[in-house]
Amino acid sequence: MTQLLHTRSETLAALETLAASATEELILALRTLSPDLPLLTEALTERGLNTWSDLIAWVTRRGVRLLMAFGDEDPLFDVDRHRRVWLEASAFANVHQGNAQILCAPHGQQLGKLWTLRFRRPIRAALWRLATDDTRRLTLPQRATLAKGPTLRPQRIAQAFAVADGTRALIGGVPTDMRQTDQDWHDIAALIEDADFAGALRAHFADCWSAAIATGAPTLASEPRPVAAVSRRQSRPELRLLRTLSDPSDGPLAFTGTTRIQDAETHLLRIFGAARHHVYIETPAFRHPALAEALADAARNAPDLQLTVVLHPGADALPFAGALPGTLARAEDARDRTLAILARSFGQRAAFLRYAPQGRDSVAERATDVLAGRVIVVDGTHIVLGSHSLTLRSMRLDTEASVLIRDRSLAQDVLARRARKWLGVSQDAADAAQAETWAAARAPLEAFAPTAPAPRTTRPLSLPDEVF
């Protein structure tokens, strides 16, 4: 059974119920999880459980093995997010009452020494800010950075999912930050009760867990041990796990890892190329020329193909939080080139919109990225949702997990709900699949016309394309 979760409240309730239902093992692979986040499920609050701290204590007290992996952020350039992850992980380490392993896991890729030398000025400035900060606020990685020098990691672990007993899973947008509200929430998740899919997701977690241990990710509870993964085939083609994994590369010029698994890119190239009626894309960023070319080919082969692209630029993720010189310019140029491919190919058959509640249109003005929508609907039959953005970095380098669902009823319902959410009126399936319907969207969405990158007075920094 697959149930799509469209609101913050129903997603939180589903995650709470999933965690509480675990009898042997609970896996939580998240970007953030506030320990003081109030529980919404009445059956749990009636037990006297009021927050996620209470829930984790209760679950582990019943003998359930807890494996919790937080995707750590850069301790030097993304200080606030990094500290929040460590505070949350530490809080759960203090309340668990049983067999628990809790990791703050960075990606294993390290920046080569020549790149570190190239960026010595912003690195020195960031080190000075860290050294003059309140020492009581420093995390273990930040203390190590000041004592031994920085270990810069240009890739990240972006996925968000939970697995209970290897048979039930929740994947996609997980609203686990207390600062979020229903009005802010724009993502979507899937609750999947399917032993094959959940088993495949658990095996993926086992790979990530082993990589985190090899990286030396600090443990905040019991000593981490490898997760035994029972080999499972993917479930039927109608429900497929899409993941991205990359292995660290060494050397003085190392910036990007070596792609090991790129399921999402492979399947999206195939699905986009076969599109015939309508493609709906909602993503923080679109910087993937090959995916754009696949859509362009489909537009030439299918004269009636419609395209809707909704961007959440404030949630775009750049290496080192965009702090390195030239990265913002490179990202915006790559975005503009990619969207220009689509604009030329589709013409009036495409609608381009961006989420701009305060007129934001630059990746420099970042919001909480877990709020952004990440969902694709193709021809009213295919849904892709999860942690992936349509960027080279997300599709080839970062650690990501999404799900491909082939279900006409669910796909058409997703499109209708997104139209109702963004357009504010009820749209039938035919109208929601027309670009002109979306072109009339109002605030907080705004329509825009993609253009090729404008000439710049200074040349943007030369970095590998996959960084963006």
The CATH number assigned to the domain with range 2-215 reads 3.30.870.10
Most confident of 14-23, 69-78, 115-124: 14-23
What sign does the dihedral 361-364-367-371 (CA atoms) show? positive
**Whole-model pTM?**
0.93
Q: Which tens digit of pLDDT belongs to each residue from 45-60?
A: 999 999 999 999 999 9
Residue 313 CA to residue 423 CA, distance in Å, equals 19
CB-based burial label for 454 (10 Å; 0-12, 13-18, 19+): exposed
Q: Which of residues 209 and 177 earns the better pLDDT score?
A: 209
Q: Is residue 447's pLDDT more than 80? A: yes
Task: Give 185's Cβ-side CA count (13 Å radius).
Answer: 21
Give mean pLDDT, residues 132-149: 93
Most confident of 65-69, 427-431, 455-459: 65-69
Q: What is the pLDDT of residue 180?
A: 61
Residue 98 CA to residue 166 CA, distance in Å, equals 19
CA terminus-to-terminus distance, the chain: 36
Q: Per-residue DSSP letters for 115-184? A: HHHHTHHHHHHHHHHHHTS-GGG--HHHHHHHHH--------B---EEEETTTEEEEE-----TT--TTT
191 Cβ partners below 8 Å, 6+ apart?
2, 3, 4, 5, 14, 18, 168, 169, 170
Neighbours of 147 (CB within 10 A): 7
Q: What is the pLDDT of residue 400?
A: 97
Neighbours of 455 (CB within 10 A): 5
Give the residue carrying structure tokens 């399936």: 429
Give mean pLDDT, residues 94-109: 92
Q: What is the pLDDT of residue 219?
A: 83
Task: Give 278's Cβ-side CA count (13 Å radius).
Answer: 21
Q: Is residue 457's pLDDT more than 80? A: no
Q: Is residue 369's pLDDT more than 70? A: no
Q: What is the pLDDT of residue 365?
A: 44
Q: Is residue 367's pLDDT more than 50? A: no
Do the domains 2-215 and 241-467 sit in the same CATH topology, yes or no? yes
| Residue 185 pLDDT class (50, 70, 90 cuts) | confident
Q: What is the pLDDT of residue 459?
A: 62
Write down the mean pLDDT value for the chain.
89
Which residues does residue 399 pair with via DSSP β-bridges, in sequence order?
A: 157
CATH match of 241-467 with 3.40.50.300: no
DSSP 8-state class, residue 224 = P
Q: Is residue 41's pLDDT more than 80? A: yes
Is the backbone peptide bond immediately before 444 cis, with ω within 30 degrees of 0?
A: yes
Q: What is the pLDDT of residue 232?
A: 58
Closest CA to 105 of 216, 264, 26, 6: 216
Q: What is the pLDDT of residue 430?
A: 61
- Which percentage of the chain shows pLDDT scores above 70? 91
What sign does the dihedral 354-360-362-367 (CA atoms) show? negative
Q: C-alpha angle 30/32/34, rounded to 5°?
A: 125
Rounded to a whole number of angstroms, the CA Rg of the chain reads 22
| Residue 184 pLDDT class (50, 70, 90 cuts) | low
| Residue 362 pLDDT class (50, 70, 90 cuts) | very low
Q: Is residue 86's pLDDT more than 50? A: yes
Could you tell me where the beta strands, DSSP code E, fall in 6-117?
25-30, 65-71, 100-105
Q: Is residue 361's pLDDT more than 50? A: no
Q: What is the pLDDT of residue 234?
A: 63
DSSP 8-state class, residue 425 = S
| Residue 175 pLDDT class (50, 70, 90 cuts) | confident
Phi/psi for 452 (5° steps) reads -65, 155
Q: Which tens digit of pLDDT belongs to each residue from 207-254?
A: 999 999 998 888 887 788 888 766 555 667 899 999 999 999 999 999
**Which token pair is 368?**
């909480």
Furthest CA-CA distance within the chain: 63
Give whole-number Cα distances, 317 to 44, 85, 243, 400, in Å: 35, 17, 18, 13
Amino acid identity, position 206: A
Most confident of 179-193, 205-219, 385-399: 385-399
Range in 6-10, 72-76, 334-338, 461-465 with the lowest mean pLDDT: 461-465
Domain ranges of the chain: 2-215, 241-467
**Which token pair is 388?**
């992936």
CB-based burial label for 144 (10 Å; 0-12, 13-18, 19+): middle
Give mean pLDDT, residues 124-139: 94
